[in-house]
Amino acid sequence: MRSHFRVMQGLFRKHHLQYIAVALALGLCGISHAQPDRAASISIQLDSPSHKVSPMLYGLMTEEINYSYDGGLYAEMVRNRTFSGRSHSQPAHWFLVERGNSSGRMALDDATGPSDALRNSLLIEATKADADNPVGVYNEGYWGMALRPNTTYRASFYAKTDKDDMGGVSLALVSNDSGKVVASTKSESLSSAWKRYEVTLKTGQLEANANNHLVLTVSHPGQVWLSLVSLFPPTYKNRENGNRPDLMEKMAAMKPNFLRLPGGNYLEGDEIQDRFDWKTTIGPLVDRPTHPSPWRYQSTDGMGLLEFLEWTEDLNMEPVLAVYAGYSLKGAHINAGPFLQPFVQDALDEIEFVSGGTDTLWGAKRAQLGHPKPFPLHYVEIGNEDWFDRSGSYEARFDQFNKAIKAKYPQLQTIATMPLKNTKPDMQDDHYYLRAVESYKMASKYDSVDRNGPKIFVGEWATREGSPTPNLNSALGDAALMTGFERNSDLILMASYAPLFVNVEPGGMQWESDLIGYDAMLSYGSPSYYAQVLFAKYLGDTVPKSTATELPNRFFYSATVSQAQGKVYLKLVNGNSEPRTVSVHLDGAKSLKAEAIVETLGGNNPAETNTIREPQRIVPVKTSLKGVKETFEHTVPAYSIQVIELSTQ
């Protein structure tokens, strides 16, 4: 992965240089170049459809990067809950507690664990302890633990002891600042065999904050082993092992149609054994061995395949399932042929787990895990970014997967991750990571692409300016790109921004410019996030024919209509430092309301942004536009994205 990361960084640097060169050539480096609007006009033929808007156009893509799940969406509050991963002498994020005159030690024990999958544990050896002087450990959480008033938290852990009279484990949620216990409880007595214990902790009146930790102590001398120590707040739709409500709500506002899962590089892993091996991510947590994410930390796999699917269900999306296709990031690959066959079978099993009836082997397994209803599935992506595979093995690997998938599931659309020479896949996944000036150029790329090739899935795209989350300039670049996606949505059937999430705490980010930022307590949307919210909120079902003349530089538009709702959605993007005026002509409108709704996302400075402390600096502002008629002039403010909702009924 590191070499891959370097390649990506290299590309990024290259793009940056290109940016400067292009910017100089265009005279855009901060030099104002006021430009007369001349006869800038957009004509929309409302009674003349060009094509349907792809019903799947906007969706989501995520992976375990930037603490997206662990320390992010997946609501688990205990960090390093299973003591798994690369060997270390001290258990990271865990600390010894010796109260009063007690004494003890803690150590990792790789000789005992609660299951075949979890063979490690944390040993607490209490040499001197009693009820007033307990010994134990505390966990610091993912940059703290967010506690809210009058809220119930569910804690659980696996434990065993060497003493008959050890009693139970005391659990407490404690403020880092005051040392005050804000909630506490005690488990049943431990025994000599590994067993799961579950308790609840309820907070009282307190000011919501993330400056807290979880303490587990015992009050008798002896040895206690712990594993899979877990703490959950209330989750979205109260799912057990579920997700953070604030992040789910932010995604819901994007009205996503699909979720591309499970990655990205996370699908491939650094090495073949580090791939997203879906069969090891289902079932009870104690049976999930965890695995290294290519983004340099261990994934708990609490977000396993079924949890991904439940996430799609909760947000009314469809999974776009990416299957591991025999290439991992550090270059190891399996050539097409008999050695690839087990991986092909894994993919077929995975498709069956997602979409098979309960009369199938893997559909029955899904039912046994609590979800008898098959998930809708129409798209399967074979691999990820296989243009990185310099061996040239992808075309044959794709072919082997594709034939097997089509033979068993002819209704599925398959997606190739790069252009192929000999096969025409149903779809091709194109990825773009750009500077704003490059996004402006890219916005028209698909206007002239051959319609006889595969359909396009823009499975990863982003304008990358701003860190940890993109700034207004990125949002402008993104909006320009999205006008191109909409205009060409006969060809571009789906598009998903990446990466979606970043934990903004120090050390949380491996990849800059991520759509939504958060810490343990709060989350916020970047300007780019709000651009996507706007584009998805105002999207018709048809693209009408339209023409534009003399549009200024850095000015973009798209128009969609909803006949059923009698609406025209006109999106305008002005990436200039001055306002720009266009003349809008609406041909074929049966009737037109004189007043329209306008939502504007903009600012004074393209470097402006939102942050965890200032989350609402750049947000859409709703106003109304009067005097709409078949031809009207409209001025788009500097550095702004506008959506005009016109009513034709």
525 binds ligand AHR (CB under 6 A): no
User: Among residues 190 and 254, whose Cβ is nearest to ligand AHR?
Assistant: 254
- Taking the complex as a whole, how short is the minimal distance between the CB of residue 384 and ligand AHR, in angstroms? 5
Pattern 424-463, binding to ligand AHR, x per CB under 6 A?
------------------------------------x---
Q: Which residue has the tokens 């659980």?
A: 156
Q: Which stretch binds ligand AHR (CB under 6 A): 49-57, 109-117, 258-266, 565-573?
A: 258-266
Q: Supply angle C-alpha 180, 181, 187, rounded to 5.
A: 160
Pattern 28-67, binding to ligand AHR, x per CB under 6 A?
-----------------------------------x-x--
Considering only residues 471 to 510 of the shown chain, the ones binding ligand AHR according to CB under 6 A are: 498-499
Considering only residues 192 to 221 of the shown chain, the ones binding ligand AHR according to CB under 6 A are: none
- Taking the complex as a whole, how short is the minimal distance between the CB of residue 387 and ligand AHR, in angstroms? 10
Contacts of 1 by beta carbon, 8 Å cutoff, 6+ apart:
265, 270, 294, 295, 296, 329, 330
- Taking the complex as a whole, how short is the minimal distance between the CB of residue 126 and ligand AHR, in angstroms? 44
User: Among residues 98 and 460, whose Cβ is nearest to ligand AHR?
Assistant: 460
509 closest CA partner among 470, 474, 471, 468: 468
Token digits of residue 53: 């808007």
Quick one: which of 82, 265, 355, 546 contacts ligand AHR (CB under 6 A)? Answer: 265
Pattern 384-403, binding to ligand AHR, x per CB under 6 A?
xx------------------
Tell me 253's DSSP state: T
Q: Which stretch binds ligand AHR (CB under 6 A): 121-129, 260-268, 328-336, 603-611?
A: 260-268
Ramachandran region, residue 283 (left: φ > 0; alpha: ψ -120 to 50; beta: rest) = left
User: Among residues 37 and 63, whose Cβ is nearest to ligand AHR?
Assistant: 63
User: Among residues 65 and 458, whose Cβ is nearest to ligand AHR?
Assistant: 65
Quick one: which of 8, 369, 522, 548 contacts ligand AHR (CB under 6 A)? Answer: 8
Token digits of residue 33: 């170049």
Q: What's the start-to-end Cα distance of the chain, in Å? A: 55
User: Among residues 384 and 414, whose Cβ is nearest to ligand AHR?
Assistant: 384
Position with the least CB separation from ligand AHR:
264
- Taking the complex as a whole, how short is the minimal distance between the CB of residue 69 and ligand AHR, in angstroms? 14
The amino acid at residue 300 is: T
Q: Which residue has the tokens 């009058």?
A: 150
Across the beta sheet with 523-525, what order do the strands follow? 501-503, 516-518, 523-525
Count the residues of the shown chain that bind ligand AHR, applying the rule CB under 6 A. Answer: 12
Q: Which stretch binds ligand AHR (CB under 6 A): 35-43, 262-270, 400-408, 590-598?
A: 262-270
For every residue of 546-598, DSSP letters joined together read EEEESPPTTEEEEEEEETTTTEEEEEEEE-SSS-EEEEEEEES-S---S-EEE
Q: Which stretch binds ligand AHR (CB under 6 A): 263-271, 276-284, 477-485, 615-623?
A: 263-271
CB 530 within 8 A of CB 537: no
User: Among residues 304 and 499, whose Cβ is nearest to ligand AHR?
Assistant: 499
Question: Would strands 580-587 and 631-636 be described as parallel, antiparallel, or unpaired?
Answer: antiparallel
The number of helices, as runs of H, and strands, as runs of E, in the chain is 10, 32
- Taking the complex as a whole, how short is the minimal distance between the CB of residue 638 and ligand AHR, in angstroms? 31
511 binds ligand AHR (CB under 6 A): yes
For every residue of 507-530, DSSP letters joined together read T--SSS--SEEE-SS-EEE-HHHH
- What are the two backbone dihedrals, phi and then psi, of residue 349, each rounded to the nearest 5 degrees? -65, -40
User: Among residues 71 and 264, whose Cβ is nearest to ligand AHR?
Assistant: 264
Q: Which residue has the tokens 């004189």?
A: 594
CA of residue 125 relative to chain centroid, distance:
41
Cα–Cα dist 125/136, whole Å: 8
263 binds ligand AHR (CB under 6 A): yes
Contacts of 442 by beta carbon, 8 Å cutoff, 6+ apart:
432, 434, 480, 481, 484
382 binds ligand AHR (CB under 6 A): no
Q: Which residue has the tokens 């536009």?
A: 625
- Taking the complex as a whole, how short is the minimal distance between the CB of residue 7 and ligand AHR, in angstroms? 9
* Residues constituting the chain: 649
Cα–Cα dist 240/76, whole Å: 10
Quick one: which of 136, 264, 468, 517 contacts ligand AHR (CB under 6 A)? Answer: 264
User: Among residues 156 and 414, whose Cβ is nearest to ligand AHR?
Assistant: 414
What residue ranges bind ligand AHR (CB under 6 A)? 8, 63, 65, 263-265, 384-385, 460, 498-499, 511
